[in-house]
Amino acid sequence: MDIPKFEELLKQIQMNFWLMGIPFDNPKIQIRYYVLLLTLSLMLIDEIAFFGSRMSSENFLELTQLAPCICIGVLSVLKILALTAKRQKIYELTQNLECLHKIILNDTRKTELVRKNLVLIKFITKYFFVLNAVLIFVYNFSSPVIIAYNYIVSNEVQFVLPYAVLLPFKTDSWIPWLIVYVYSIFCGFTCVLYYATVDVLYCVMTSLVCNNFSLISFKLQKVNRNTAHLLKEVVKEQQYVLKLAEDLENIFTAPNLFNVLIGSVEICALGFNLMIGDLTQIPGCILFLSSVLLQILIMSVFGENLISESSRIAEAAFLCKWYEMDQKSKKTILTIMIRSHKPKKLTAYKFSIISYGSFSKIISTSWSYFTILRTMYTPPGTKFQDDL
């Protein structure tokens, strides 16, 4: 498979940013950005209002069914607001990564070293958007199917909306229902546009930074007595890529925090509905849960890769023929190793390190929330038994 150029990796992301009203090549926010954000925010307000209106112990199960949709909407808005605040830094980081990527493509040996990662990130960029678009398409357009099914079965029209909202007017006739329905599906696609774009941008940028750490390790491992003069260049490259990794952390630390906090609530609520809810809820819950788990897993995998590649430089320095070099070169290698002993990490606002461990922690936290919900839902006097 051909090695993707930088423009190919960023093409869909740049298009999405333009649609959202925050184009890469223009620091000025467009009017459509505020329009999209306002429409989605109003939908969230309506959903939260409905949630509040149903707040009672008798509606406990219904509330847990509503929670995931509200959570994903809130998550999308928070993530896009966080990236909007960092849009200039995003643009600068992409410019720097593009320069490094062009250098890689001009060297056949470097290209072969990172071919696998580049092909993988191209695959993720292409199909992550497609997967989320399919999921929201199924979710949004299930309402007409449900209306048609109910009409065939009961010969009555029951006006069903894809999202539960509290409105100041009724939607029990075709015109108001159609208006709210079109508005709802528009907000659904906007929501997916927000969070999918942020997640794919995270994957692309993290992968490109990891590639450069990998190339530094390879170059350092090949250094010997005759090429010791290259160590100065390696030190400069390491410092530069470390700075890029810091910028990456600065951009995504807030979105990562939102993913960790809200992701646990989503998994808990969806798991609860799978175990306690009606059979008709199972297909939708499985699709929704799969999407949330995939999102958090991808975040953790790329965070783990950054830790691994940045710390591998120390191992590469030790494996080179440092014992044949002069004292000055040995001190330089020791400096490189010391810097690499503290690997670069992506965090959730310093509260948690994004890695495989964070994925396990999110699942563990979700399970804790689930046991609390299950206990609360059990009728008084009934002994809770874990049947999982």
Q: pLDDT tier at 45 (50, 70, 90 boundaries)?
A: very high
Measured CA to CA, the distance from residue 69 to residue 113 in angstroms comes to 42
Q: Say whether pLDDT at 197 is over 60.
A: yes
Nearest to 296 by CA among 271, 274, 267: 267
Q: Report which of residues 86 and 377 the model is more confident about.
A: 86
Measured CA to CA, the distance from residue 80 to residue 20 in angstroms comes to 9
Q: Does residue 212 lie within any of the structural domains?
A: yes
Nearest to 122 by CA among 194, 200, 23, 199: 200
Which range of 54-68, 108-122, 144-158, 173-187 scores highest in mean pLDDT? It is 173-187
Q: Does residue 385 lie within any of the structural domains?
A: no
pLDDT tens string 335-373: 888 888 788 889 988 888 888 888 888 888 888 888 887
Q: What are phi and psi of 342, to 5 degrees?
A: -110, 90
Q: Does residue 384 lie within any of the structural domains?
A: no
Domain count, the chain: 1
Q: Does residue 144 lie within any of the structural domains?
A: yes
Residue 324 lies in domain? 6-376
Q: According to the model, what pLDDT value does residue 280 have?
A: 63
Q: According to the model, what pLDDT value does residue 328 have?
A: 86
Q: Does residue 382 lie within any of the structural domains?
A: no
Q: According to the model, what pLDDT value does residue 387 have?
A: 46
Nearest to 99 by CA among 303, 218, 241: 241
Q: Say whether pLDDT at 1 is over 70.
A: no
Mean pLDDT value across residues 89-111: 87
Exposure letters 293-309 (e unless 16+ CB within 10 A, then b): bebbebbbebbbbbbeb
Mean pLDDT of the chain, nearest integer: 84
Q: pLDDT tier at 381 (50, 70, 90 boundaries)?
A: very low
Q: Does residue 102 lie within any of the structural domains?
A: yes
Question: Are residues 312 and 113 in contact, defined by beta-carbon separation less than 8 angstroms?
Answer: no
Question: Are residues 106 and 229 in contact, defined by beta-carbon separation less than 8 angstroms?
Answer: no
Mean pLDDT value across residues 287-294: 82
Mean pLDDT value across residues 310-331: 84
**pLDDT above 90: percentage of residues in the chain:** 16
Mean pLDDT value across residues 261-275: 83
SS3 string, the chain, reads CCCCCHHHHHHHHHHHHHHHCCCCCCCCCCHHHHHHHHHHHHHHHHHHHHHHHCCCHHHHHHHHHHHHHHHHHHHHHHHHHHHHHCHHHHHHHHHHHHHHHHHHHCCHHHHHHHHHHHHHHHHHHHHHHHHHHHHHHHHHCHHHHHHHHHHHHHCCCCCCCCCCCCCCCCCCCHHHHHHHHHHHHHHHHHHHHHHHHHHHHHHHHHHHHHHHHHHHHHHHHCCCHHHHHHHHHHHHHHHHHHHHHHHHHHHHHHHHHHHHHHHHHHHHHHHHHHHHCCHHHHHHHHHHHHHHHHHHHHHHHHHHHHHHHHHHHHHHHHHCCHHHCCHHHHHHHHHHHHHHCCCCCCECCCCCECCHHHHHHHHHHHHHHHHHHHHHHCCCCCCCCCCC
Indicate the residue type of 140.
N
Q: What are phi and psi of 353, to 5 degrees?
A: -90, 130
**pLDDT above 70: percentage of residues in the chain:** 95
pLDDT tens string 199-217: 999 999 999 999 999 988 8
Nearest to 306 by CA among 178, 230, 205, 170: 205
Question: Are residues 291 and 324 in contact, defined by beta-carbon separation less than 8 angstroms?
Answer: no
Measured CA to CA, the distance from residue 88 to residue 113 in angstroms comes to 31
Q: Does residue 383 lie within any of the structural domains?
A: no
Measured CA to CA, the distance from residue 187 to residue 226 in angstroms comes to 62
- The two structure tokens encoding residue 231: 């160590």
Q: Does residue 381 lie within any of the structural domains?
A: no
Q: According to the model, what pLDDT value does residue 61 have?
A: 75
